[in-house]
Amino acid sequence: MSSLTESSLTEVGYAKLNLALHVRGRRTDGYHDIETIFAFCEDGDQLSGEDAKGLSLEVSGPFAADIPANDANLVIEAARVVRLATEVSTGAGLRLVKNLPVASGIGGGSADAAALLRLLTTLWEIPASQAGELAPLLGADVPACLLSRSCRGEGAGDRVKPIDLGLSGTPVLLINPGLPLSTRQVFEQWDGVDRGPLEDWRVGRNDLQGPATALVPAIADMLAWLEARQGAEFVRMSGSGATCFALFGDEAARDQAASQVPRPWWHLATRLR
């Protein structure tokens, strides 16, 4: 595997959390109308890139084997969309370090696509406004991931508005059972009941938690385990699952919980941006 030079640009595909997610209805375009509060962690996947004649992608990291490194990868697909839309003739040599589990409800693919958009605005000198226009074409979560800061999402989640939650620096522990979960399947299992609008995320819901748990029962075990951790102040499943998370009052309590995570669960001890 080749290495990138010191002139390479680097962006982080920050792990995404849904502090609450209310499903309001099905749409005719195959999506669902939702209301959600996004928050982002300080850690995630790492994407590097430099000028090249063509488009190429190398993938490494603990979850590299779970995603394609060829033309089917969302990062390469996103680069092609950007190049076509902007009529850029140059290419990019890209390298992705895949640190986040795949199909886990924390925006891995969308975060990577957003990291690519941020990287290419510099590498290819693309206006940031144009990157923002392209984001919804790459996925419903990509506009929020492009911001990578707390925001409210509506529509399919692609209409985003930045908000200040006052949570920056909050210690958080993410855990995942090591089982991928299809977003499409989870939404298909939603019962179609509109349980009301999202106002306060702390007393809100994740309407996908029930359908996701029916598909991956380990979600219930993880939520119960997090609830039992000393210092855990807020526990919920993120997105369509199966990753669950807990916000902690201090890093010592978070680190103590992280040291107790059962095997083979994956975990990440980090903080909110």
Residues identified as active-site? 16, 141
- Contact at 8 Å (CB) between 20 and 142? no
Tell me how far apart the alpha carbons of residues 163 and 152 are, in angstroms, rounded to a whole number.
Answer: 7
The closest alpha carbon to 219, from 201, 237, 235, 233, belongs to: 237
Strands 91-97 and 55-60: parallel
138-173 burial code (b ≥16 CB/10 A, e <16): bbbbbbbbbbbbbbbbbbbbbebeeeebeeeebbbb
